Amino acid sequence: MHLFRSILVFFLLTSFNSFANNEPFESTYYPLPQSNILFKGGNIYDGDGNEFLNTDVIISNGVIVAIGEDLPVSEDTIIKDVTGKWITPGIIDIHSHMGVYPAPGVSTSSDGNEATSPVTAEVWAEHSMWVQDPQYALALAGGVTTFHVLPGSANLIGGRGVTVKNLQRNTINSMKFPDAPHSLKMACGENPKRVYGNRGQMPSTRMGNVAGYRKSWIKAEGYLSKLEEYEAKSDEAKELSYKPTRDLELETLAGVLKDEILVHNHCYRADEMATMIEIAKEFNYKITAFHHAIEAYKIADLLAENNICAALWADWWGFKHEAYDMVQANIAIVDQARNGTGCAIVHSDSEIGIQHLNQEAAKALSAGNRAGYNISKARAMKWITSNPAKAAGIYEQTGSLKVGKNADLVVWSGDPFSVYTKALEVYIDGAVAFDKNNSFKPVSDFDVGIIDAAKDRVE
């Protein structure tokens, strides 16, 4: 029996390896044990901008199978009365450094910035992520089912970001969101020019930054055309020539030019965002989202016209000169641009903020309506669900409560926009991952016995 299992494991490993030669670091994610559940009589923000009061939701085999009233259910369905409670999609954070800057924030696990060269497109955030970071579980209690981890902003081009399910496991591959595209982290402005300028190397100015991006894209274009030239050859001609040597840096950049990797661009100032849009046009790639974008409100129409999301804080400001012009209605202004076609996202970039994205959205919503807009809570829910899902390239799978999509959802104790409201239950792919009332939650290895040997960290 034992031997048989070993042989089977060996077979699986070898077959996986042969596959892995082409696609390394594939997701090995699988859900927790799933249940078929009828959530009865809840109030719903579906994440696509709709509100349904006193409505039922059925999940089965990990997906949403029905939303409506008086729905028929199968015998094995668990019925949960959620009258007076709210159901939303699982919250998604498009900007997190959990795992790459884990807690405790000690130098030995501070792995988010490969600040040794201004362009490090070859590094992948997932190769820094510490799977035992105790912060994931805290975010889960805030309703976060999916988050995107980016390299830091020290570099012009910082490397690949990764989308993960908030289901803490022992390997990063087992947390990776299946089939989610990578992102490419780029950074404008003060950070790269400060980091490298202080060392007396390029870039030390914003014009140096721009030259740096353009030089990289020129190299990437050359690499891609060599690859395409080779791929266009007949099999015989291929045998007579060498396949261009792989280059990890340019492979990532070429992935952007081939629309396989999504550009997530840290950029605060409106004028710099406009310049970045010019660069994207010059090299024919798409910017998926500007992050932090304190001045997005100054060019909200330009962003909407170019189909670029802005991932924003509700109110943080003033820590840098490029973060000085904060207005609280920033998110609302982006959302309402060009007749409401703008794409606004509330992001955290913070291990505390990620636990309260609902509160941050509440502040942004109230500021927007104070500024004269008439934005509903149902629409504001998009800022922390479907819009980040779109920006992460996973909207087909998650980010809203739609029949056929992953059953990633949160049952809230009350209005999700209130400070007093708590996530009671969090489901990932139809499996309960957090249950407040039954104290069911993940505990990272780090938390085990670290204060009192017989207890978990805070118990």
Task: Show the site string, 145-184: x = touches another protein by CB under 8 A, - = not.
Answer: ----------------------------------------
106 binding another protein? (CB under 8 A):
yes
Using CB under 8 A, pick the residue from 325, 378, 435, 442 that binds another protein. Answer: 325
CB of 163 to another protein, least distance (A): 22
Residue 421 lies near another protein (rule: CB under 8 A): yes
Q: How far apart are CA 334 and CA 209, in angstroms?
A: 26
Q: Answer yes or no whether residue 279 interacts with another protein by CB under 8 A.
A: no
Considering the complex, state which of residue 71 and residue 378 has its C-beta at the smaller distance from another protein: 378
330-340 and 357-370 helices, crossing angle to 10°: 60
Q: Which of 109, 45, 41 is nearest to 69 (CA)?
A: 41
Tokens for 223? 């690499």
Interface residue with another protein, options 97, 176, 185, 298 (CB under 8 A)? 298
33-92 residues near another protein, rule: CB under 8 A = none
Minimum CB distance to another protein smaller for 4 or for 319: 319
Among 25, 230, 283, 317, binds another protein (CB under 8 A): 317
Closest residue by Cα to residue 413 from 55, 41, 85? 85
Binding mask 213-232 for another protein (x = CB under 8 A): --------------------
Q: In whole angstroms, give the CA distance from residue 358 to residue 142.
A: 8
Exactly one of 56, 126, 190, 408 binds another protein (CB under 8 A); that residue is 190
**Nearest CA among 177, 173, 150, 174 for reference residue 163:** 177
Nearest one of 132, 126, 117 to 147, comparing CA atoms: 126
- Please state the φ and ψ torsions of residue 51, each to the nearest 5 degrees: -120, 130
Q: Smallest distance, Å, CB 193 to another protein?
A: 12
* Residues in 231-250 that interact with another protein by CB under 8 A: none
Residue 450 token pair: 């670290």
**What string of DSSP letters covers 101-159?**
SPSS--GGG--S--TTSSB-TT-BGGGT--TT-THHHHHHHTTEEEEEE---SSSSEEE
| The binder of another protein chosen from 53, 234, 319, 374 (CB under 8 A) | 319
Q: Is 451 in the site for another protein (CB under 8 A)?
A: yes
From the list 150-158, 275-283, 309-317, 395-403, the region that binds another protein by CB under 8 A is 309-317
Question: Measured from the CB of residue 413, what is the shortest distance to another protein in angstroms?
Answer: 9
Cα distances (angstroms) measured from residue 227 to each of 310, 428, 442: 33, 39, 45
Q: Which stretch binds another protein (CB under 8 A): 48-56, 148-156, 222-230, 355-363?
A: 355-363
C-alpha distances out from residue 383 to 53, 348, 391, Å: 20, 12, 11
37-45, 80-88, 165-173, 368-376 -> range binding another protein (CB under 8 A): 368-376
- Hunting for tokens 């130098």 — which residue is that? 107
- Residues making contact with another protein (CB under 8 A): 103-106, 134-135, 138, 190, 194, 297-298, 300, 315-321, 324-329, 333, 350-353, 355-356, 359, 362-363, 365-366, 370-372, 417-422, 446, 450-451, 457-458
